[in-house]
Amino acid sequence: MPELTKTEETPPEEIGTRLRVVRQIYGLTQRELARRAGVTNGAISLIEQNRVSPSISSLKKILDGIPLSLADFFTLNFSPSDNVFFTAAELTEISFGNNISYRMVGRRVAERGLQMLHETYQPGADTGEAMLRHAGEECGVIVAGCLAVTVGSHEKTLYPGDAYYFRSDIPHRFRNPGETPCVLVSANSPPSF
């Protein structure tokens, strides 16, 4: 990532506006950028006025002239207590459906970007066929027992020490296929509930 990491200003919703901001950050004129990118200055002008929606091939050429990757271009969004310690006793156990329980680390605070659960799946426990989907990312490490994790069209059974990491809006499901309770520690970012 080039050194514009902290563009604090509002992430422009319109692509053209965003391009103009980026171009100016890099101190380029429309013509200079056009020359480097191998497009015409008129095209850049029209894009920056949001009068046309560039094809990704054009946008890529333009960004190559900066240079800036498509991913960085779209990512260039902004950036993203006193109760620190919790004894196991304080972490009240909450039941989630029938056979799944967890202890949430910390109180539910809207401002937080991270949620950690100490979860127990009883044998046969299952989040269900209707797959889970929500924003963010999540990961976990199996501590005891085993857990069958389905993510998208892939499924795998994980054992102690194994782990998973996926984007939470890919449909997913957890199930304990074993004979003993499954214990794991999982994290969500941002908190999913």
Partner DNA sequence: GCGAGGCGTCAACTATAATTAACGCTGATA
Partner DNA sequence: TATCAGCGTTAATTATAGTTGACGCCTCGC
**CA-CA distances (angstroms) from residue 164 to 59, 142, 150, 174?**
35, 9, 10, 11
Q: Which stretch binds a copy of itself (CB under 8 A): 35-43, 120-128, 161-169, 174-182?
A: 161-169
* Local structure of 7: helix, strand or coil: coil
Q: Which does 32 bind (CB under 5 to 8 A by kind): a copy of itself, DNA, none?
A: DNA
Identity of the residue, 2 or 97, whose beta carbon is nearer to a copy of itself in the bound complex:
2
Q: How far from the centroid of its chain's Cα atoms is residue 39's Cα?
A: 34
Q: Which does 46 bind (CB under 5 to 8 A by kind): a copy of itself, DNA, none?
A: DNA
| Distance (Å, whole) CA 137 – CA 151 | 12
* Local structure of 147: helix, strand or coil: strand
- Count the site residues for DNA by CB under 7 A: 23
Q: Which does 164 bind (CB under 5 to 8 A by kind): DNA, a copy of itself, none?
A: a copy of itself
**CA-CA distances (angstroms) from residue 11 to 19, 67, 85, 121?**
11, 19, 36, 41
Site residues (CB under 8 A) for a copy of itself, limited to 55-114: 55-59, 67-77, 80-81, 83-88, 91, 103, 105-106, 112-114
Q: Which of 21, 22, 54, 121 binds DNA (CB under 7 A)?
A: 54
Residue 38 has φ and ψ, to the nearest 5°, of 80, 30
Residues that bind DNA (CB under 7 A): 29-32, 38-43, 45-49, 51-55, 57-59
